Amino acid sequence: MLTVLAGLGLGLSLIVAIGAQNVFVLRQGIRREHVWAVVIICALSDAALIAAGVAGLGFVLSAAPWLIVVARWAGALFLLSYGILAARRAWRGGEELQVDVADAPAAGSTTSVGSTATATRTRLAPVILTTLALTWLNPHVYLDTVLMLGSIAATHGDDRWLFAGGAMAASLLWFTALGFGARYLGRWLRTPRSWRILDAVIAVVMIAIAISLVLPVLGG
């Protein structure tokens, strides 16, 4: 049990941070759009990467560091593109949450209000592709999840897979809480102006992360 809890704690410490993947999950949760698909893809991807790290993939990455460099540039280009699209949405505006009358609170009611639809709903396929790209084109996931977590799991000897199980559980818990908890922010995001602000923040975060990915390569 202590080994599982150690994996859970380390997994949460690596996942709970402002990053491109978390920002995307948060946005999909607020929109209530394909949340289950996004959560499942993120959790299963993390589980696969954790298992690979525990199984020894970290040694392959250590022997071929150019793979991380490729991931850095690919991830930076994707994040830059996504950031530009978010900036374009922020500039043009026009998006808002639609709230059904049935969801409106009665006078004096403390019931939370959530959005039930969006003005324009994105198809499932682009959401899946974006989720996969934000997960697998992120070089930090290989450095943290595969290399570091895999190395720490190895210190637990025969219990390393229990440690891995704890880390996988942390990923599932976090993405589920983030994706489905985000819907309660919908009450503050019912106007085009609020969505323009959110998209502007997303654009800044995505572009900043893209720059941070390539700075070590350019500086080195």
- Residue-wise pLDDT for 14-23, tens only, equals 676 667 888 8
The pair phi, psi for residue 214, each rounded to 5°, is -95, -15
pLDDT recorded at residue 102: 34
pLDDT at residue 177 is higher than 80: yes
pLDDT, mean over the chain? 77
Pair of tokens at residue 219? 């500086």
pLDDT tops 60 at residue 103: no
| Residue 117: predicted pLDDT | 41
Per-residue model confidence as pLDDT tens digits over 104-117? 343 343 333 344 44
Q: Where are the domains of the chain?
A: 2-215
Tokens (6 digits) for 101: 């009358």
pLDDT in tens, 15-68: 766 678 888 998 899 888 999 999 999 999 999 998 988 887 666 666 777 777
How deeply is 65 buried, as exposed, middle or buried, from its count of CB atoms within 10 A (0-12, 13-18, 19+)? exposed
Residues 78-92, mean pLDDT to the nearest whole number: 83
> Tokens representing 126?
């682009």
**pLDDT mean over 189-215:** 79
Q: What is the pLDDT of residue 41?
A: 96
The pLDDT score that the predictor gives to residue 95 is 54
Q: How confident is the model at residue 204, as a pLDDT?
A: 87
Joined tokens for residue 67? 């793979």
Query: How far apart, in whole angstroms, are the C-alpha atoms of residue 13 and residue 170?
Result: 9
Q: d(Cα 100, Cα 118) in Å, to the nearest integer?
A: 11
| CA dihedral over 130, 179, 92, 124, signed as positive or negative | positive
Mean pLDDT of 180-206: 78
Tens-place pLDDT, residues 133-152: 988 988 878 877 777 777 77
According to the model, what pLDDT value does residue 219 have? 65
pTM over 0.75: no
Percent of the chain's residues with pLDDT above 70: 77
